Amino acid sequence: MIEVVDQIFKAVFGAIVIGVFAIIIALFYKGIDRKIAARMQSRVGPPVRQPFRDIIKLFLKENIVPKHATEWLFNLSPVIALASSITILLYLPMGSFGPILSTEGDLILILYLLIIPSLAMILGGFASGSPYATIGAQREMVLMMSLEFPLAVVIVSLAWRLKEAAVSNPFSLVSISSNPIWNNVGVVGIVGCLILLLVLLLITPGELSKIPFDVPEAETEIAEGLLAEYSGRNLAMFYLADAVKTIVVASLVVALFFPYNLSPLFSLSGIGAYIVDFLFYLFKLFLVILFAVTMVRVGVARLKIDQVTSVYWINLTLLALIGLVLLMFDKILIVKGISIL
């Protein structure tokens, strides 16, 4: 009984620490993202601390509920979005720190949990009673359904290849971090993994509803769409949920493709190893956000909703399937002992 209580206490305490850390780091990265994007567009841009100011200002403002809104659902949606985003982080490793919660099917669970913030925004949009938010909610549903298939293909492809390499629990992020995919494939498999990595990086802005896949909000078309009627603390929680989800998706990319740490390279141990590996983890997060979010939204214009579905259902799905076929072909070559070099 005492052990169970101790485990619950550690899980609750860890969840609080992870939640606070996620919010601070997420807002910091959002500030860096805005600053770099501004520089790339020959602008000065806001200071890095601006997201913190925005959040404080929103929490101090009045929380307005539209007259024709379904009030309880309108107010509950941002809470669900933020809570679910933080929950996903509990299953993700951070440097040398393993996940607080871990199961044999982490990846499957994360696939489902990633849907919840989007569903919360959809419910909030419909509950607001605004025609702009209704259009945004419909677009969010289409976007969510479009990107789930290529994302599932990427995850299943990696898990299958690790299983064929005799890795136990291939759907567990702990197993994946301990057995990086690059160490378990040949030359053809490396090409397949690079293709899957590219697909996952292109899924990232869609998962976060960033340009060119920001059709659910589209400020110049539907006046913020889903968030048109939100203000005050509700808008602040949606803002935080978006920032935390950015860290979540970037951490997933790191865990799947770049789980390496620096401490073994420098023969570090103890607290020093944890610190170095954690700082390296933050650096990897920065690189993923830079290449998958910042540079994409600066260099590409917004797509139309039919173009979004075409990109995900056809282009990226086919590309992910090509990556899967290459991994299968790589497995056949390894079994037969054939080298293409």
Over residues 138-168, the pLDDT tens digits come to: 888 888 888 888 998 999 898 888 888 878 8
Q: Which amino acid is at 175?
A: S
How far apart CA 133 and CA 162 sit, in angstroms, is: 43
Query: What confidence score (pLDDT) does residue 7 get?
Result: 65
pLDDT tens digit string along 53-90?
989 898 888 888 887 878 888 888 889 998 888 888 88
CA distances from 327 to 82, 134, 164, 321 (A): 36, 42, 10, 10
Mean pLDDT across 275-304:
86
Share above pLDDT 70 across residues of the chain, in percent, rounded to a whole number: 93
pLDDT tens digit string along 117-138?
888 888 888 888 778 878 878 8
- What does pTM read for this prediction? 0.89
Q: Among residues 220, 204, 236, 191, which one has the least CA distance to residue 53?
A: 236
- Residue 231 phi, psi dihedral angles, 5° rounding: -155, 175
